Structure 1
Amino acid sequence: MWRRRPSWGCATRRALLAAALAAAVVVLYAAGGSPNGMPASLFFDDDAQAGLEDIPASNLTADHLLDGLLTTEFSYRSCRSRYEFAGYHKKSLHKPSPYLLAKLRNQEALQKRCGPGTAAHKKALRQLDSGEGVAHDDADCRYLVYINYRGLGNRMLAIASAFLYAVLTERVLLVDGGKEVADLFCEPFPGTTWLLPRAGWRSPLRRLVGYDGGSKESLGNMLQSGAVVVSADGNASWSSPQPPPYVYLHLAGGYGFHDKLFFCGAHQRLLRGVPWLLMRTDNYIVPGLFLMSPFRGELEAMFPEKDAAFYHLGRYLFHPTNAVWHAVTSYYRSTLAAADRRVGIQIRVFHKKQPPQRVLDQLLSCVRDEKLIPETIAGNDTLSHAIMVTSLSSWYYERIKGEYGGRVAGGVHQPSHEGRQRWEDTAHNMRALSEMYLLSMCDVLVTSGYSTFGYVAQVLAGLRPWVMARPPMWADDWTEGLDPQALPCQRAASIEPCFHSPSAYNCATGRDVDLDKVTPYIRRCVDVSCGIKLVNESSSQW
């Protein structure tokens, strides 16, 4: 006999999450965790909300609103990080363009008009479930569903990419992830939700985890199966009288040639009439969108400073919930705020066989060569430094503390060391998110190559990090691709994340091209030889 699932209210969910975090703390301290780590109580402090008053909308300044990125339609108490973010970060010299602000306001109106619970959304769901493929006109609602995939850093980069694609194609963005996303982030759009509602039993949205590169509904497989007809002049059309009700976009790392044809303008025009698009990616595909002729003009108008794309998108979209934000700000005030200069070190090791001592030697060489941390004990006339280390392991923290603990007045700190990454573990991801934001509050960053965790932190901070070379996670041997004569670290060309696996195929000419020679604002990444990133073509202003 089927049992009814218990209905968990917010208080029950909060208690369960608190228990999970408390258990994580016990494990950490049992393993010799840092005494200055983040206790579970930081994430659940009801006293922090007691007596907290809303800031009237009339009192919100341009700094609070990130120069117009944010609106005044949210209450301060509902999401403190939204309007407090600027107070913990340097004043931005990079203003969002008026055109970007207009596009954001239009997207907010679209999300509210077509989002979950509206008549338009209910109608679109009925048509999807019935298998109707309706060629929508511009007055109808169309949707882009981001499929939850990979770790938190990958997901944040992918969601930002999906959001920008939704803006460009006038689609409502719905995010898979449910309760965990709600525990991590506040709603970004006023008057609606970006969370994908639970789907019916027969809905294509029911089991999103089942879609992969082999799915018959993927664009790549449709292009090979004859569902799409390409004429001699390069125009593409559906072989059936109507477009399919939905198309799956497989853009995850390792995706094949036909999946990469997503980046062709002809196929973008084809997708225009599809009511629902389902996207799985663990990539920051924004540089690839800049290479597409249908979008290039719009993107250049939205982002006159090309290397500020995720800088604006990330600050607009991602606002940690009050529980996470309380942990971030409490830890910052107690351990980092008093220092004149904060140095953030992010260490991620992808190969278990890579010797930790080699990683540590590389890091220390980078720090010394670039003079990022003073080598002598600070005197009265010098700046005080604090060092914050983020790593899944405590081994690096302990040795960095042994090296620099007596030299820096602000001390060496590690918020947590969880041992291993735990996908879809809410307590783990709350800690990860808090550490990304703590890194973004530093004045100097040293990060590990290939790490999306580091990418998010550097962009939120608006800092070009020093990046340590790392073997790719897909390499068979940890020495593969590493040059023993290479510098221990290199300064990133911009703050933008790296698109790890772009398509080099030129759709117009039918051959591969050298991507960093196509436009002045696309360059190769210092940490991923095949990757590309956005730079500011005039000069580096960061």
Structure 2
Amino acid sequence: MKEGKTVPFWRNGIVLMSIGTVMIFTCLLAMDMETVDFASARISSRKTAERTDLRNAVNREMKIKPVTRSAHDRLMNVKHDPECLARTQHLLYRRDPERFAPSPAFTKAWNRYVMMHKACSHNKNWTHVFLHERGKTDDCNYLIVMEGNGGTGNKLLSLTSAFAYGLATDRVVMVEGRNQFKYLLCDPFPESSWFLPEDFPYQNVTDAEGLGVAIQRNFTDTSMVTLRLDHIQSWADTQFFCEHTHFGLMNVRWVGWSSTQYFVTRLLMVPSIWERLNPLFPSGEIFTFLSHKVLLPKNELWAHIVRLYFGYLAGSSKRVGVQVRLHGRWNLAEYDPVVFDHIVDCLQSRDVLPKLTTVDDVSDVMSFARNGWESSTEISVLVTSLQLKYYDELKDLYAGKPNVNKTAIRFHMVSHLGSQDSSVHQGETAFVEMWLLSFSDVLAISAYSTFGYVPQGIGGVKALYLNIKGEVFPNSTSCFDAYSTQPCTHNPQDPKCEGPGDANELHSEWMRHHVRECVDHPGGLQLVNEVVEEHSSG
């Protein structure tokens, strides 16, 4: 266009009309797309609501707990302890972590003990202190826990018993720094350790005079006593469960503890110890709360536990733990078809797992797929046993036939070692399995099994006891209910106490209501939190 030449007005009008038409069309298109998006969102929302309603209906019918993201939300707010991650994380993986909040009295007693432990143990040369400061040079008394020869469950139960005694009597608990414990457990106390060095003179503890000699001396000129509290005890060692003995032991600086048994229930039958411990645990779950403090896995094991948790249990609406150990037999890992039948009958008759059916058509298969993929109704079953075949048979049974609830069930197993030994590897494996089992909603454990008592106590679960000890008969009761979450004291001892003891009517009344014979082991004693009816093991 040449300079000075004007543009006709009608051309400007055409340009303006074209631009306006494009703008109007664009606006209409955008409005139409918003309408389409809104309609799609309504359809998607309606479908999601329908799926949610279906899932909730199925969950209500099957009485399955919903899966929430509460554990994830809690994880974001946890202040992690790098020295012992399990200390602050383990409650994140439980359905109802609020239930495990310790009482204010226990929290106060624990904090007091932690301070005492640090003051009496920090930066000590333990060999020098033990060999050259045997007399009373400060206000510290010590309990040295020697690791017993039993299985991992027995060792952990004994250690918890020793700590309960130390807490009740103001003794600093120090643990043998050899063998399994140092590979399994975190240090419970920040800024101080409870493990003695490997070169500590342990033989001196083993060879120290027993309780009988100390009693004969009336606890005078005695700086070290070793308790030998196995399932068979001498008369002198049974005196440990007498009131007057504990007053005498107050004058002994060093006490050794050698045991493979759980004795917390029996310790509570000593009035002076009951007066110290009972107020700290109003729920009666002493082992549960102590285990959350002193049976924490080392970080390497905790990482393994968390990986297995997310691989096996996370996202499942129902977590089932099955622990199989054949006590009373030469081969603890033997496969017995009658035992397997008992396991299946227990799980099905108690509605832990759905019964099987022969009906298997396309509609059932599609319903099964919907339940497995679109709604979180699946059940995860963790089987722990020395014998692989129990796991294989359970898995094949439910894979081979449909179940009446059309539920997706997943079976898992961590190990099948074939036999029990005292190796560190087997101890680590057992400890990992115990912690995984403790996350179960339902536990079916072998009667009389200390391996099963540990996850039952850690998880605070009233288990089903599988009736598979000794010879198992086809028509016998397959399982029976526990009436406590706490371990059974298998050999509680009933000593004839020769020294003076103070009668305590409140204590006697408490024992009448809260100490019962174990349902899975006649003659054993168990702590319960309420009066229960008598049970029969069939």
Q: TM-score, normalised by structure 1?
A: 0.73
1:106 alignment partner in structure 2: 112
What does 1:130-529 correspond to in 2, within 5 Å? 134=135, 136=136, 140-149=139-148, 150-178=150-178, 180-199=180-199, 203=201, 205-206=202-203, 211=206, 217-220=209-212, 222-223=214-215, 227-228=216-217, 237-238=218-219, 242-306=220-284, 308-350=285-327, 351-352=329-330, 356-376=336-356, 378=368, 380=371, 383-405=377-399, 407=403, 409-423=408-422, 425-471=423-469, 478-479=470-471, 486-505=476-495, 507=497, 518-529=511-522
Q: CA distance change for structure 1 residues 105 and 427 in 2, over 3 Å: closer, same or farther?
A: same
Q: Give the match's secondary structure for 1:345.
A: strand
Post-superposition offset of 1:508: 7.2
Task: Tell me if structure 2 keeps the 8 A contact 1:345–1:389.
Answer: yes
Larger radius of gyration: 2
Q: CA distance change for structure 1 residues 330 and 96 in 2, over 3 Å: closer, same or farther?
A: same
Q: CA distance change for structure 1 residues 93 and 325 in 2, over 3 Å: closer, same or farther?
A: same
Q: Distance in 2 between matches of 1:349 and 1:314?
A: 25
Task: Tell me if structure 1 keeps the 8 A contact 2:157–2:260.
Answer: yes
Q: CA distance change for structure 1 residues 288 and 409 in 2, over 3 Å: closer, same or farther?
A: same
2:24 alignment partner in structure 1: none
Post-superposition offset of 1:125: 3.9
Q: Which of the numbers 523, 528, 534 marks the counterpart of 1:535? A: 528
Aligned residue pair count: 431
Q: Give the match's secondary structure for 2:513.
A: coil
Unpaired segments of 5 or more residues in structure 2?
1-72, 357-363, 501-507, 534-538
Q: TM-score, normalised by structure 2?
A: 0.73
Q: Give the match's secondary structure for 2:133.
A: helix
Q: Deviations over 1:442-487 (max 9, x none)?
A: 111000011111111111111100001343xxxxxx33xx788652
Q: CA distance change for structure 1 residues 63 and 221 in 2, over 3 Å: closer, same or farther?
A: farther
Q: Give the match's secondary structure for 1:529.
A: strand
Q: Give the match's secondary structure for 1:505.
A: coil
Q: Give the match's secondary structure for 1:405.
A: helix
1:6 alignment partner in structure 2: none
Q: Give the match's secondary structure for 1:412.
A: strand
Structure with more helix by fraction = 2
Post-superposition offset of 1:100: 1.2
Post-superposition offset of 1:179: 6.3
Task: Tell me if structure 2 keeps the 8 A contact 1:336–1:410.
Answer: no
Q: Give the match's secondary structure for 2:320.
A: strand
Q: Give the match's secondary structure for 1:178.
A: coil
The alignment status of 1:97 with 2:103, answered yes or no, reads: yes
Q: CA distance change for structure 1 residues 199 and 258 in 2, over 3 Å: closer, same or farther?
A: same
2:92 alignment partner in structure 1: 87
Q: CA RMSD for the aligned pairs?
A: 3.1
Q: CA distance change for structure 1 residues 198 and 116 in 2, over 3 Å: closer, same or farther?
A: farther
Unpaired segments of 5 or more residues in structure 1?
1-58, 65-71, 129-133, 229-236, 472-477
Post-superposition offset of 1:178: 2.9
Q: Distance in 1 between matches of 2:383 and 2:126?
A: 48
The one-letter amino acid of 1:364's match is V
Query: Identity rate of aligned residues, in percent?
Result: 29
Post-superposition offset of 1:499: 0.5
Q: Deviations over 1:476-508 (max 9, x none)?
A: xx33xx788652111111100000100223637
Q: Greater shift after overlay, 262-271 or 109-118?
A: 109-118
1:37 alignment partner in structure 2: none
Q: Distance in 2 between matches of 1:458 and 1:168?
A: 24
Post-superposition offset of 1:421: 1.5
Q: Distance in 2 between matches of 1:179 and 1:113?
A: 26
Q: Distance in 2 between matches of 1:62 and 1:393?
A: 39
